[in-house]
Structure 1
Amino acid sequence: MFRVARIVIQQQVKCETIPIRSLKMSAVASAQAQVAEKPRAKGATQEDYSFVMNLFRGQIEARQVFPYPNVLNEEQRDTLQMLIDPCEKFFSEVNNPSKNDTIEKVDEPSLNGLWELGAFSLQVPQELGGLGLSNTQYARLVEIVGANDLGVGITLGAHQSIGFKGILLFGTPEQKAKYLPRVCNKEFAAFCLTEPSSGSDAGSIKTRAELSPDGKHFILNGSKIWISNGGMAEIMTVFAQTPVQDPKTGKTVDKVTAFIVERAFGGVTNGPPEKKMGIKCSNTAEVYYDNVKIPIENVLGGVGNGFKVAMNILNNGRFGMAAALSGTMKTCIKKAVDFANQRKQFGQVITNFGGIQEKIAKMAMLHYVTESMAYMISGNMDSGSQHYHLEAAISKCFASEAAWYVCDEAIQIMGGMGFMKETGLERIMRDLRIFRIFEGTNDILRLFVALTGIQYAGAHLKELQNAFKHPTANLGLIFEEASKRVVRKVGLSSPPSMDQYVHNDLLQAASELAKSIDSFGESIEMVLIKYGKSIVNEQYILNRLANATFDIYSSAVALSRASAALRAGGESAQHERQMAEAWTLEATQRVAANLKIVSSGRNLDNFTKMSSIAKNVFKAEGVVQLNPLKL
């Protein structure tokens, strides 16, 4: 009668919680932080209001996506508007991105101007010297920075988005009072996590901090690499292994701890600025710690809690990357459109050609979705949400890949002119490449999204399985779950939560998206049954599930924003409707293709071939020596 009941009873599937750590997931990308979880009863699934998390159960959790957030009050809007004009004027009249790129540093007039604007302390409370902006206000200003100079953006972001963000999130009142006024007053901050032997696997860091014999200090030794602002920072958030007593066994084990480290403590040095492909004006350097004495009151977030601190810092700041890159995309699109409107070939302007129109339309849709994600997540955060970590990870991946595509297509539209340095696009392309790598590589974040969602679905399926052991006592849970799925499966109605939130003009697109969500939930169940905990080793499948997740979430965000625009009216409403519809159509087609690959044995057989090919290349230490061509 009920599909879920048949799955649980007939298959007797074991849905233990999947150990994400077993994949050696990185501190940069792992789920654990998102889970400053509240204690819960054994066997119970914690309520999670994340839209993305609930996709893995084939359900629509609409409250964080619909309606599109509108969180700024009148005073906040006025404050933001007062900041936008001087910020835009600064980048048009003072900052010179080409000069910064050439001299490989932010020139002094620009740095001083940024400090005077308060750009280095946007979210520090006003009483401690900052501007006290909300996440949404912050996103709007970061968008301006991204539209003009990504190298400057990294200098600003490394300082406040991650550099001293841990003090904002985890600092004691004393730590905040001591350090936040300083980071607002020309003392640079940095986030020091990455080491030569630990990139994505942050748990393998070697830097150590041992308690001094008198118990008053930790003695820090080690080094960090590729630290943004590393050559300038006076105040650093540093992560190191510390010995901690395991409360269960009583044995001493190593756990990561976060520290606030001042260069003035002594023993802190750095190497020369790194030579990089892009973001050249951003200072990047190795940092060395030689018997640095850190007062015990400078432990940040508690001894042994450094992993959680790092994760929360990174999760909290990722939406800013989407905001910045939406600004970058806007700049690229403007350059391409200005060129296309003037360029004539074969007797007409190239804007008349379907191939150019298709490029521009896709670039516009990618910008729309990226910008919509940034303000969706910042709005969620400003509303007090604690369930945005998967969405933030998606926004980082989506934005960094979309911006690269948009810049590349802008160059293509402009042809040879786009390749020339004077247009500025070659600098933007060089600057963009790092965004798919740092603050969690997109490869690791895809696994993070897929595995976290699967873990949530698996825990819930196990809860349902347990309910069937005592059906009379758990009829509510069983019938609730079954009704959610069966009604959709047999077509008695569409998922109720979609139709009631989107505008009437978008019902068809919403219906197609709802079908994708249901199909996605079925695929997750199939994966859990087939692979169980060993799914952590099936990266070919996990990547395709992640891509499907990206397409579903991005479509929901676009439909939400377009619905808000249609209800409000205005000149752009129909344009937004068309973009949301076109994006959802293409996205749902990609979802279907990815889910078909997940469920098709033939495609998985092809992956086995690909794995074998790769192993041959690894063994040959390069391209395999082929039989000579007979030319």
Structure 2
Amino acid sequence: MASNPNGNFESVVGSFFFGEMNESLVFPYPQFSDSQVEMAKEMTAAVDQFAKDNFHSEKFDNEGKLPESIIKGLSEMGLMGLGVPEELGGLGLDYSLYCRVFGQLASKDSAIATMAGAHQSIGYRALLNEGNDEQKKKWLPRLASGEVIAAFCLTEPGSGSDAYSIKTKAVDNKDGTYTITGQKLWITNAGLAGFYSVFAKTEHMIDGKSVEKISCFIVEGGMPGLSFGEKENKMGIRASETRAVYFDKVVVPKENILGELGKGFKIAMNVLNSGRLSLGAGCATGMKMILDLATNHAANRKQFDRPIAEFGLIQEKLTKMAASTYAVESIVYLTTGNMIKGMNDYYMETAVCKVYGSENLWSCIDMAMQIAAGNGYMKEYPYERLMRDVRINMIFEGTNEILRCLLALSGVRGPSEDMKELGKISDVSSALKAPIKSLGVYTKFARKRMSNMMGSKQITKAHPELKEQAAKFSSMLGRFAIAVEDSLIRYGKKIIDNEIPQGRLADMAIELYVILACISRTTAILNGTKATQEQKDQALRLTKYICNDSGRKIKRNLKAMSKNNDKAVAKISESVVKTGGYGFDIIDF
């Protein structure tokens, strides 16, 4: 297995922060086998037909409810147990097939996909990941069949992104049971579920001191003390059910503990990693569907005696939509491919898929509505409902802001360890007192920095048509690594409190992953025999467009690391908070 400088199985995105890139994890681009292609086509066609016959999205949205027949139909098709092993009643799909099939469902109705995703992407994912054989045999067949619906209970009124601050408690009764007391907020499938993955604080004695840690429990529907709030009245995905869940001294047996006591935080984070990946896959197929709508309108809507698709500003939007769709799809399936190969450190990649996918999906529906113009604003067309539905994706599974911080702080952790020795003698006067001792450390640091400046991590496996893009990637990767070092030198430990530069580092890492994934995928297409020449030409055009666009974003962020308005941002926002808003009126000054 490939290793990063810290000796762990390598995260592609994580390695960027060292100025590293292991081609073996990127080339060749993961491919579906012939049997997988056949299965994927059969299943997506079945989803399409079922959706055509049964999905009435406008009606579901207006009523704010899904009919039971939808869940029953999905269950009969096996769509409620995509990742469950076949011997336990599921389809046993790998990550790539799971994402492709789930993505097809997401493209048909966001509320239905939310229900199905909350059930299996996160609802019983902790059971799949951490459950023992007895727990899996008891629950998974019923969950995969749709007989029992699952819900994921982590978020609380006082803890959103700060998951570790949850207040729900699980007290050991010393008789083989635990009593759970607390509440959870915004829980999808809450009133439908019979299986709840519940995260609560448990007490542990460490070195003679009482310490609270998070543990995960199975709570079964109908248990005394379990109740729910009213159905939330949401902006979008209205047909999916969201409620508060209350635990009033709910007693569960110790057999319902999932994984190891006190390890619930890690369990929750691993579950959310899976959820972010399927969310990214849903964004990709959703964007394809929206692009189809926009293209059809642009090709058939005439102004000044010609289709609006012939006008430059409309063409620009269609191009952006097509390129971003290709990019999102490329990062999602590069990630799933590596997960299938055994990469277990993938939380940074799934965060990228979620952030990049959700923001580009939002941009995509915004451009599609603009192309549709007045029609797009009317309820008789799907655009306004789609816009309401997709907005939640930038909040779901960890807000995009917190995920940017996660990416940046996780990424700089490794380089900061490497720079510790340098940090001990970074004061010039100290170095001069021990020049021989200092020389080796500084020489090593300078050599690595010079290497990054030269862009030494060259891509050798890219198609010749992408030689220029590969070279630019190497250069930008080196400059990014230098920006990481400069940030650590400038901020030190205070980098944790400086979210704006964190955001820039995260955005650059995201764009580097996008470029690399697209180069790899297009190389595979150009070298392969399945695509037509027109498809190859289009893939090449899209990749060059993406590389140029992402490259410009990286350059802007590199420049902004040293020349920015960060101090002004802090002062202006401080004043806004102090005055409770804008603080001006035109009639006063």
* More deviation, 422-431/395-404: 422-431
Quote the Cα distance in structure 1 between the aligned partners of 2:586 and 2:55. Answer: 56
Q: Which residue is equivalent to 1:593?
A: 556
Q: Which residue is equivalent to 1:614?
A: 573
Q: Map residues 192-231 of structure 1 onto 2, 5 A cutoff.
A: 192-214=153-175, 216-231=176-191
Shift in Å, 1:483 = 5.6
Q: Which residue is equivalent to 2:17?
A: 56
Q: Map residues 172-321 of structure 1 onto 2, 5 A cutoff.
A: 172-185=132-145, 186-214=147-175, 216-246=176-206, 249-321=207-279
Q: Which residue is equivalent to 2:542?
A: 579
Q: Map residues 58-73 of structure 1 onto 2, 5 A cutoff.
A: 58-70=19-31, 72-73=32-33
Q: Which residue is equivalent to 1:393?
A: 351
Q: Which amino acid aligns with 1:597?
A: A
Q: Which residue is equivalent to 1:16?
A: none
Contact 2:197 2:216 in 1 (8 A): yes
Once superposed, which parts of structure 1, at least 4 consecutive aligned residues long, lie more than 4 Å away? 463-485
Shift in Å, 1:351 = 1.4
Contact 1:234 1:262 in 2 (8 A): yes
Match of 1:458 among 392, 416, 435: 416
Q: Which residue is equivalent to 1:21?
A: none
Q: Which amino acid aligns with 1:58?
A: G
TM-score after normalising by structure 2 = 0.93
Contact 2:155 2:185 in 1 (8 A): yes
Check if 1:384 corresponds to 2:337.
no
Quote the Cα distance in structure 1 between the aligned partners of 2:269 and 2:402. Answer: 13
Contact 1:245 1:253 in 2 (8 A): yes
Contact 2:151 2:195 in 1 (8 A): yes
Q: SS of the counterpart of 1:408?
A: helix
Q: SS of the counterpart of 2:186?
A: strand
Shift in Å, 1:595 = 1.1
Shift in Å, 1:272 = 1.8
Q: Which residue is equivalent to 2:450?
A: 486
Contact 1:218 1:295 in 2 (8 A): yes
Match of 2:68 among 97, 108, 113: 108
Q: Map residues 61-140 of structure 1 onto 2, 5 A cutoff.
A: 61-70=22-31, 72-140=32-100
Q: How has the CA–CA distance of structure 1 residues 627 and 427 changed in structure 2, closer, same or farther, with 3 Å as cutoff?
A: closer
Shift in Å, 1:472 = 12
Q: SS of the counterpart of 2:222?
A: helix
User: CA RMSD for the aligned pairs?
Assistant: 2.5
Quote the Cα distance in structure 1 between the aligned partners of 2:436 and 2:138. Answer: 59
* More deviation, 198-207/87-96: 87-96
Quote the Cα distance in structure 2 between the aligned partners of 1:90 and 1:50. Answer: 38
* More deviation, 126-135/45-54: 45-54
Residue by residue over 1:23-54, the C-alpha shift from the partner in whole angstroms, topping out at 9 and shown as x without a partner, is: xxxxxxxxxxxxxxx9x9xxx83334112111
Quote the Cα distance in structure 1 between the aligned partners of 2:275 and 2:456. Answer: 33
Match of 1:348 among 302, 306, 313: 306
Q: Which amino acid aligns with 2:320?
A: K
Q: How has the CA–CA distance of structure 1 residues 479 and 627 changed in structure 2, closer, same or farther, with 3 Å as cutoff?
A: closer
Identity score, percent: 37
TM-score after normalising by structure 1 = 0.87
Quote the Cα distance in structure 1 between the aligned partners of 2:322 and 2:288. Answer: 8
Quote the Cα distance in structure 1 between the aligned partners of 2:444 and 2:486. Answer: 20
Contact 1:333 1:410 in 2 (8 A): yes
Unaligned ranges ≥5, structure 2 = none
Quote the Cα distance in structure 2 between the aligned partners of 1:74 and 1:345. Answer: 45
Residue by residue over 1:155-176, the C-alpha shift from the partner in whole angstroms, topping out at 9 and shown as x without a partner, is: 0000000000000000011111
Q: Which amino acid aligns with 1:508?
A: E
Shift in Å, 1:353 = 1.1
Quote the Cα distance in structure 2 between the aligned partners of 1:437 and 1:482. Answer: 41
Residue by residue over 1:330-375, the C-alpha shift from the partner in whole angstroms, topping out at 9 and shown as x without a partner, is: 1111111111111111222111111111111011011001111111
Q: How many residues align?
A: 577
Shift in Å, 1:487 = 4.3
Q: Map residues 524-563 of structure 1 onto 2, 5 A cutoff.
A: 524-563=484-523
Residue by residue over 1:220-278, the C-alpha shift from the partner in whole angstroms, topping out at 9 and shown as x without a partner, is: 111101000011111000001111111xx221111111101102332111112100000
Quote the Cα distance in structure 2 between the aligned partners of 1:449 and 1:236. Answer: 29
Contact 2:458 2:474 in 1 (8 A): no
Higher relative contact order (CA 8 A, sep 6+): 1
Contact 2:90 2:144 in 1 (8 A): yes
Quote the Cα distance in structure 1 between the aligned partners of 2:345 and 2:443. Answer: 27
Q: Which amino acid aligns with 2:87?
A: E
Q: Which amino acid aligns with 1:260?
A: I
Q: How has the CA–CA distance of structure 1 residues 187 and 488 changed in structure 2, closer, same or farther, with 3 Å as cutoff?
A: closer
Q: SS of the counterpart of 2:419?
A: helix
Q: Map residues 15-34 of structure 1 onto 2, 5 A cutoff.
A: none
Shift in Å, 1:459 = 1.3
Q: Which residue is equivalent to 1:361?
A: 319
Q: Which amino acid aligns with 1:582?
A: Y
Unaligned ranges ≥5, structure 1 = 1-37
Q: How has the CA–CA distance of structure 1 residues 381 and 479 changed in structure 2, closer, same or farther, with 3 Å as cutoff?
A: farther
Q: How has the CA–CA distance of structure 1 residues 482 and 350 changed in structure 2, closer, same or farther, with 3 Å as cutoff?
A: same
Contact 1:128 1:181 in 2 (8 A): yes
Match of 2:281 among 304, 310, 323: 323
Q: Which amino acid aligns with 2:121?
A: S
Q: Which amino acid aligns with 1:328?
A: G
Quote the Cα distance in structure 1 between the aligned partners of 2:414 and 2:567. Answer: 28
Contact 1:62 1:497 in 2 (8 A): no
Q: Which amino acid aligns with 2:570?
A: S
Q: Which amino acid aligns with 2:541?
A: Q
Quote the Cα distance in structure 2 between the aligned partners of 1:626 and 1:47. Answer: 57
Q: SS of the counterpart of 2:216?
A: strand
Shift in Å, 1:495 = 3.1
Shift in Å, 1:123 = 0.8
Contact 1:467 1:477 in 2 (8 A): no
Q: Which amino acid aligns with 1:204?
A: S
Shift in Å, 1:479 = 8.5
Q: How has the CA–CA distance of structure 1 residues 484 and 578 changed in structure 2, closer, same or farther, with 3 Å as cutoff?
A: farther
Q: SS of the counterpart of 1:288?
A: strand
Q: SS of the counterpart of 1:264?
A: coil
Check if 1:505 corresponds to 2:445.
no
Q: Which residue is equivalent to 1:4?
A: none
Q: SS of the counterpart of 2:25?
A: coil
Contact 1:45 1:459 in 2 (8 A): no
Residue by residue over 1:452-476, the C-alpha shift from the partner in whole angstroms, topping out at 9 and shown as x without a partner, is: 1011211123367799999999999
Quote the Cα distance in structure 2 between the aligned partners of 1:586 and 1:213. Answer: 60
Shift in Å, 1:137 = 0.8
Q: How has the CA–CA distance of structure 1 residues 446 and 496 changed in structure 2, closer, same or farther, with 3 Å as cutoff?
A: closer
Quote the Cα distance in structure 2 between the aligned partners of 1:371 and 1:562. Answer: 12
